[in-house]
Amino acid sequence: MKRFLIPLGIFIVLVGFLAVGLKLDPREVPSPLIGKPAPDFNLPLLSDPARHLSPADLRGKVWLFNVWASWCTSCRQEHETLLEISRQGNLPIYGMDYKDQPADALAVLGSMGNPYVETVVDLDGRVGINYGVYGVPESYLIDKNGIIRFKFTGPLSREGFDKKILPLVKELQK
């Protein structure tokens, strides 16, 4: 009569998976770009539209690429953390203003402070699509060879940064 135990066995396995599932976020999309070169772009700067920036300019540096917008309320949550990181000075942050009005973006940086070395402007979101952006804010850690090493989706918390990104930064900067 051992076959009568089969339903119970199946159920126990199921409950195991469901329990693990409670800790996961079904809506988080992991990036397939990890370990691949950061998609190229050549976008105008927010501070000076006549000048442009591309990832190639940042070879040799470990840097954080933060996608944000003035209309994004969650971005305000991480702003303080970004300012702290920028003040510490060992990890430069470059921003990308995604599908936004440059005037509004400048206003936000003016009133809340500017953690970015520079911010580029992605008006139509094309570069965002290339980076697999689906919900700002999103941050990418890019190494000296221009390879994406980590992606953080959602507002960057101090805790999240210290635990997940900082160790990687230290290693990459060696």
Partner 1 sequence: MIPELGNFALIVALLMALTQSILPLAGAARNIPSWMSVARPAARAQSLFVAIAFACLAYSFLSNDFSVINVTQHSYSRLPAVYRFTATWGSHEGSLLLWTLILGLWTFAVTLFSRHLPDDMVARVIGVMGLVSCGLLLFMLLTSNPFLRMPMAPDGSDLNPLLQDPGMVIHPPILYMGYVGFSVAFAFALAALISGKLDASWARWSRPWTTAAWSFLTLGIMMGSWWAYYELGWGGWWFWDPTENASLMPWLVGTALIHSLAVTEKRGSFKAWTVLLAIAAFSLSLLGTFLVRSGVLSSVHSFASDPARGLFILAFLAVVIGGSLLLFAFRANQVGLGGRFALVSRESFLMANNILLLTACGSVLLGTLYPLFIDALGLGKISVGPPYFNSVFVPLVLPLLFLVGVGPLARWKQASVPDLVSRLKWGFAASVVVALLLPFTMGAWKPMVAVGYLSALWIVVGVAINVQSRLRSGAGWSANFYGMNLAHLGVAVTVIGITMVSAYESERNVRMNVGDTITLQGYTFRFNGVKHIDGPNYTAERGALEVTRNGNPVTTLYPEKRTYLASGMPFSDSAINYGFTRDLYTALGEPLDGGAWSVRLFHKPFVVWIWIGAVLMALGGVLAISDRRYRAALRKQGRAVA
Partner 2 sequence: MRRWTTFLLVLWLPLSAMAGEARPVAEDPVLEQRMIALSEDLRCLVCQNESLAGSRADLAQDLRQEIREQMRAGKSDQEVIAYLTQRYGDFVLYKPPLKPLTWLLWFGPFVLLIGAAGGLYAYLKRRTSRLADDSLSEEEKKRVTDLLANNGNK
Tell me which stretch binds partner 2 (CB under 8 A): 7-15, 101-109, 118-126, 163-171: 118-126
Residue 79: closest CA among 36, 119, 109, 46: 109
For position 15 contacting partner 2 by CB under 8 A, the verdict is no
- Footprint on residues 34-73 left by partner 2 (CB under 8 A): none
Helix (H) or strand (E) holding 153: strand 148-153
Q: 63 vs 131, which CB is nearer to partner 2?
A: 131
For position 107 contacting partner 1 by CB under 8 A, the verdict is no
Q: 28 vs 84, which CB is nearer to partner 1?
A: 28
Place of tokens 């804010």: 137
Coil, strand or helix: which one is 91? Answer: coil
| Count of C-beta atoms within a 10 Å radius of residue 70 | 19
For position 32 contacting partner 2 by CB under 8 A, the verdict is yes
For position 76 contacting partner 2 by CB under 8 A, the verdict is no
Coil, strand or helix: which one is 123? Answer: coil
Q: Rounded to 5 degrees, what are φ and ψ at 43?
A: -110, 150
x/- mask, partner 1, residues 1-20, rule CB under 8 A, reads x--xx-xx--xx-xx-xxxx
CA distance 139 to 160: 12
Tell me which stretch binds partner 2 (CB under 8 A): 12-20, 24-32, 58-66, 111-119: 24-32
- Footprint on residues 29-48 left by partner 1 (CB under 8 A): 29-30
For position 134 contacting partner 1 by CB under 8 A, the verdict is no
Place of tokens 């070169």: 37
Alpha helix stretches (DSSP H) within the chain: 6-21, 73-88, 102-112, 126-130, 158-160, 166-172
**Residues forming the site for partner 2 (CB under 8 A):** 27, 29-33, 99, 124-126, 129-132, 134-135
**Residues forming the site for partner 1 (CB under 8 A):** 1, 4-5, 7-8, 11-12, 14-15, 17-30
